[in-house]
C-alpha cells in the first residue's frame, strides 16, 4: 500500500471546530433554526408486556396549544414493519416497559409534556420476564454475533487440554447493564413537506451516520433516498448509541407526516434514553484456562450468556477477542442469548470487546497468581507468532513493547507480587495490568469529492460525522497532506446526505475509512488536474479494496496499568494512577488521539467502579435512569490518567498508516482496575462494578 507523506498529519493541530463550540455557534440537532415548530413529547408504556386496550386522549386534545395526539390506534402506517424496534405505533402490542405507544404535539415543550401526562392508557397486561440467568432454559445460539462473526469456535480438544493441565482456572465473571450517556441527548427535528403529491423530508439528527439514518428510515416511509435529507454537522457524543436510528426518529417522522408543513422538534429526556436508544447487554462469562507451571496456555474456553430483546435480536461479540489474544493449542468460544421483555441492546463503546476483555484479562491475572508468575511475564510467554484464529501474520502486533514500555513508565519493577503487601495507614495499595486489543476495521462504500475554488481553496466533501472525536480537524489534515497543501487551504464539508456516501462513525473505523476515500479522491484529482488546477476543477473517487486485508490480521493492541488504594475499614476505592500504552499505527493528530484514549480509559474506570443500570424485575424498567442514580466517574474519581502510543506506521491498513483509536482505550481498562484491587486487598471481585461491599466481603486485616 502506498502511504501518503505526512506533513500536517502527526501535528497537534488545534480543533478547527473548537471556536464554534465554545462560543455556542455550532448547531446541534435540536438547535437548527426552523419556523413555527411543534414540540413532541412521547407517551410510553407503563407495563413490560401485554396489549394496549384503550387510550383516552380527550383531556390532552383539549389542552390549549396541543396540535395533535398520536396513538397506536390512529398513527400513520409504515411501509415496512419488519424491524421490531422501529415499527412503532403499528399495532397494540407492548414488548417492554417504556415502549413508545403515542405522542402529543404542541406549541411548546411544556405543553406537549403536560398533554402526554393527561393521556390515560388501559392495558391487557401479560406476565413478563426481564432477568438474565445463565441457566435459562430458553437460551439459544444466534446465527452470528455483531457484526458478522461466527457464534462459536472450537479448535482442538478443550476438555482434554484442561484435564491435562497442571494449573487450571475456572471462574465466572458478570457485567451489568450499562447505558451510554452522551452530553447531547438523542434529538432530532423532522420536517415533512408535500410538493405535487411527492413528499420531501428533512431530518436534523444527532447521529453517527447520516447516510445510515437515510438508508434505514426512507424505506419505512416509502421514500426514495433523494426524498429524505439527513443533516448532522455537529454531534455531542455518541459512544455507539447514535450509530443507527432508533424508535424516536420514527416517532418524529410519523408526527411530522401527520402535521405536514410544521417542523417537529423532539429531544429525549435523560430518563427516556434509558428505555429507547440501546444499552450494553449484561453478561455472564465462564472462563476456563489450562496451563503448565510455566504459565504457557494449553487450553482456553470462553463461554458467554447475554441478553437480547424478544422484539429484535442483538447479539454482542463478547468472546471474540479471546480468539485472537493468546496462543493456546485448544480453544473454544461460544455465545448464547436469552430473549427477554426488555428494550433492544445496542452498541456501546467497544461492544463485546469491553466486557469480554474484562473477564478474559481478569482470568489471565488469576492464572498468573496461581502459577506464581509476574502477570506481564505470563502474557509475554503466551504471545502468538500469528493470529491464532486466522493463521495470518499480524500487520503490527506490538503488545510486548506496550507491556514493557508501560512497566518502565509505571514503575512496575520491584513490585511485590503478594496481595496486601503495601499499606499506607488505613489504606491498602496495589497495582494491576491488563492487555487490550481491538480490530482495525475499514468500512466499504465511502466516496469523497474534491473541488478547487476561485479562492484557491479545495472543498473536500464527504458525508462523515464528527461526534466530538475531531473529524473536522483530522480529515482536514489528511486532505492537506494528500493534496500537498496547507490545512488552511482545505474547506471540509461533512454531516449531510447531500454529500457523497460515508459509512457510520463506529467500530473505530471512521477516520480510516473516510480518510482512505479522501486520499483516493486527492490522488485522482492531482492525476486529472495536476498541481495547478483551474477554478471549478473537481473529482470524486472511492478507495480501492485493500489487498493486505486478506493477507494480514489487522488489530490494535495496548497495555493498561492501574494503581488502586482501598480503605481497609470502609472499602472505599480510589484509583490514583492509570497509564495506557497503545499500538495504533500513525497518529493523525496527537491532541485528539490522546483525548480519545484518555476518554476511553476514563470510561473503563467508570465501568469498573460505578456504572450499573439496575432493572426492577417486578415492573421491567431501569430505576437508575438519570445521572443522579446512574453513577459515572466524575472529576474526583479521575486523577492521574495518561495515555501514550508507540511511534509506528502500519503500512498494511490504509494510506495514512493509521488504525482507529476511539475504542481500544476502554478495552482492558476495567480489568486493570480489578486486578489492582485484588493486589491491594487479596479479594478477587468477579462482578462489575466493584463496590465497597464486595471488597469487604472478606475481612481485610
Please give the positions annotated as active site: 663
Task: Give me the helix-helix angle, 669-681 and 353-371, nearest 10°.
Answer: 30
Q: Which of 385, 333, 374 lies closest to 356 in space, CA to CA?
A: 333
Q: Which of 520, 503, 418 lies closest to 464 in space, CA to CA?
A: 503
Residue 279: all three cell numbers together: 444499552
Beta strands in 568-693 (DSSP E): 573-583, 615-616, 621-622, 640-645
What DSSP element (H or E) covers 452?
strand 448-452
Beta strands in 116-269 (DSSP E): 120-125, 144-145, 149-150, 153-155, 167-175, 187-195, 198-205, 228-231, 264-267
Task: Say how far apart CA 323 and CA 300 lie, in whole Å.
Answer: 9
Task: Say how far apart CA 503 and CA 212 lie, in whole Å.
Answer: 7
Q: Measuring CA to CA, how many Å separate 525 from each of 7, 16, 236, 488, 536?
A: 19, 24, 33, 18, 12
Beta carbons within 8 Å of 100's beta carbon, 6+ residues apart: 42, 43, 44, 88, 89, 247, 248, 251, 276
List the beta bridge partners of residue 193: 200
Start-end of H helices in 490-574: 510-529
Specify the length of the chain in residues: 701
Task: Say how far apart CA 433 and CA 671 lie, in whole Å.
Answer: 8
Task: Say how far apart CA 488 and CA 78 lie, in whole Å.
Answer: 46
Q: Which of 479, 584, 341 lies closest to 7 in space, CA to CA?
A: 479
- Asked if 149 and 335 count as a contact pair (C-beta separation under 8 A), the reply is no
Place of cell 476483555: 357
Number of helical H runs and strand E runs in the chain = 15, 28
Q: Which of 643, 177, 130 lies closest to 339 in space, CA to CA?
A: 130
Q: Which of 503, 514, 507 lies closest to 479 in space, CA to CA?
A: 514
What is the sign of the dihedral through the CA atoms of 18, 599, 663 and 203? negative
Task: Say how far apart CA 361 and CA 402 lie, in whole Å.
Answer: 15
Task: Say how far apart CA 552 and CA 569 lie, in whole Å.
Answer: 51
Start-end of H helices in 490-589: 510-529
The sheet with strand 100-106 has its strands ordered as: 66-71, 100-106, 38-44, 264-267, 187-195, 198-205, 228-231
Task: Say how far apart CA 442 and CA 509 lie, in whole Å.
Answer: 5
Task: Say how far apart CA 112 and CA 38 lie, in whole Å.
Answer: 9
Amino acid at each position: 500500500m502506498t502511504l501518503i507523506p505526512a506533513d500536517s498529519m502527526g501535528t497537534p493541530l488545534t480543533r478547527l471546530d473548537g471556536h464554534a463550540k465554545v462560543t455556542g455557534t455550532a448547531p446541534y440537532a435540536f438547535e437548527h433554526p426552523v419556523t413555527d415548530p411543534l414540540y413532541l413529547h412521547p407517551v410510553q408504556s407503563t407495563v413490560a408486556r401485554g396489549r394496549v386496550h384503550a387510550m383516552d386522549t380527550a383531556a390532552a386534545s383539549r389542552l390549549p396549544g396541543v396540535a395533535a395526539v398520536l396513538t397506536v390506534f390512529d398513527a400513520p402506517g409504515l411501509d415496512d414493519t419488519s424491524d421490531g424496534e422501529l415499527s412503532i405505533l403499528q399495532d397494540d402490542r407492548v414488548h417492554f416497559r417504556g415502549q413508545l405507544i403515542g405522542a402529543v404535539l404542541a406549541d411548546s415543550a411544556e405543553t406537549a409534556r403536560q398533554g402526554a401526562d393527561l393521556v390515560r392508557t388501559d392495558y391487557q397486561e401479560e406476565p413478563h420476564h426481564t432477568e438474565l440467568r445463565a441457566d435459562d432454559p430458553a437460551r439459544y445460539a444466534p446465527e452470528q454475533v455483531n457484526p458478522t462473526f461466527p457464534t462459536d469456535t472450537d479448535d482442538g480438544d478443550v476438555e482434554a487440554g484442561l484435564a491435562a493441565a497442571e494449573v487450571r482456572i475456572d471462574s465466572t465473571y458478570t457485567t451489568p447493564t450499562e447505558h451510554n450517556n452522551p452530553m447531547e441527548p438523542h434529538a432530532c427535528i423532522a420536517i415533512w413537506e408535500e410538493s405535487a403529491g411527492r413528499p420531501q423530508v428533512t431530518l436534523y439528527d444527532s447521529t453517527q451516520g447520516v447516510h445510515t439514518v437515510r438508508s434505514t428510515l426512507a424505506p419505512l416511509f416509502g421514500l426514495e433516498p433523494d426524498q429524505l435529507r439527513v443533516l448532522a454537522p455537529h454531534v455531542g457524543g455518541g459512544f455507539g448509541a447514535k450509530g443507527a436510528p432508533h424508535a424516536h426518529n420514527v416517532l418524529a417522522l410519523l408526527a411530522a407526516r401527520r402535521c405536514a408543513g410544521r417542523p417537529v422538534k423532539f429531544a429525549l429526556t435523560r430518563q427516556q434514553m434509558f428505555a429507547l436508544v440501546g444499552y450494553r447487554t449484561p453478561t455472564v462469562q465462564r472462563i476456563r484456562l489450562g496451563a503448565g507451571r510455566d504459565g504457557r496456555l494449553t487450553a482456553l474456553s470462553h463461554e458467554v450468556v447475554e441478553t437480547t430483546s424478544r422484539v429484535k435480536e442483538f447479539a454482542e461479540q463478547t468472546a471474540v477477542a479471546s480468539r485472537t489474544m493468546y496462543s493456546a493449542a485448544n480453544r473454544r468460544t461460544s455465545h448464547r442469548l436469552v430473549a427477554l421483555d426488555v428494550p433492544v441492546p445496542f452498541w456501546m463503546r467497544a461492544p463485546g470487546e469491553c466486557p469480554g476483555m474484562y473477564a478474559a484479562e481478569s482470568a489471565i491475572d488469576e492464572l498468573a497468581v496461581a502459577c506464581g508468575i509476574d502477570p506481564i511475564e505470563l502474557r509475554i510467554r503466551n504471545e502468538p507468532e500469528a493470529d491464532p484464529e486466522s493463521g495470518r501474520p499480524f500487520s503490527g502486533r506490538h503488545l510486548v513493547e506496550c507491556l514493557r514500555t508501560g512497566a518502565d513508565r509505571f514503575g512496575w519493577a520491584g513490585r511485590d507480587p503478594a496481595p496486601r503487601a503495601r499499606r499506607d495507614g488505613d489504606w491498602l495499595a496495589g497495582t494491576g495490568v491488563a492487555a487490550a486489543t481491538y480490530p482495525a476495521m475499514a468500512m466499504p462504500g465511502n466516496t469523497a469529492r474534491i473541488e478547487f475554488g476561485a479562492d484557491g481553496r479545495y472543498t473536500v466533501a464527504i458525508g462523515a460525522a464528527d461526534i466530538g472525536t475531531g473529524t473536522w480537524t483530522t480529515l482536514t489534515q489528511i486532505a492537506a497532506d494528500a493534496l500537498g497543501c496547507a490545512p488552511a487551504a482545505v474547506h471540509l464539508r461533512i454531516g449531510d446526505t447531500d454529500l457523497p456516501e460515508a459509512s457510520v462513525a463506529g467500530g473505530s473505523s471512521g477516520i480510516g475509512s473516510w480518510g482512505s476515500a479522501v486520499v483516493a479522491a486527492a490522488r485522482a484529482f492531482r492525476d486529472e488536474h495536476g498541481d495547478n488546477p483551474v477554478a471549478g476543477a473537481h473529482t470524486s473517487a472511492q478507495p480501492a479494496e485493500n489487498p493486505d486485508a486478506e493477507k494480514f490480521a489487522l488489530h490494535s493492541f495496548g497495555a493498561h496499568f492501574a494503581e488502586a488504594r482501598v480503605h481497609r475499614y470502609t472499602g472505599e476505592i480510589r484509583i490514583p494512577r492509570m497509564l495506557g500504552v497503545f499500538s495504533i499505527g500513525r497518529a493523525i493528530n496527537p491532541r485528539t488521539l490522546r483525548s480519545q484514549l484518555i476518554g476511553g480509559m476514563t470510561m473503563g474506570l467508570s465501568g469498573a467502579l460505578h456504572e450499573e443500570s439496575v432493572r426492577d424485575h417486578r415492573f421491567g424498567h431501569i430505576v437508575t435512569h438519570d445521572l443522579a442514580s446512574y453513577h459515572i466517574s466524575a472529576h474526583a474519581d479521575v486523577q492521574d490518567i495518561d495515555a501514550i502510543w508507540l511511534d509506528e506506521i502500519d503500512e498494511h491498513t490504509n494510506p495514512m498508516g493509521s488504525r482507529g483509536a476511539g475504542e481500544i482505550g476502554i478495552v482492558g481498562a476495567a480489568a486493570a482496575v480489578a486486578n489492582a484491587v485484588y493486589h491491594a486487598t487479596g479479594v478477587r471481585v468477579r462482578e462489575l462494578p466493584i463496590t465497597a461491599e464486595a471488597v469487604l466481603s472478606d475481612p481485610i486485616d
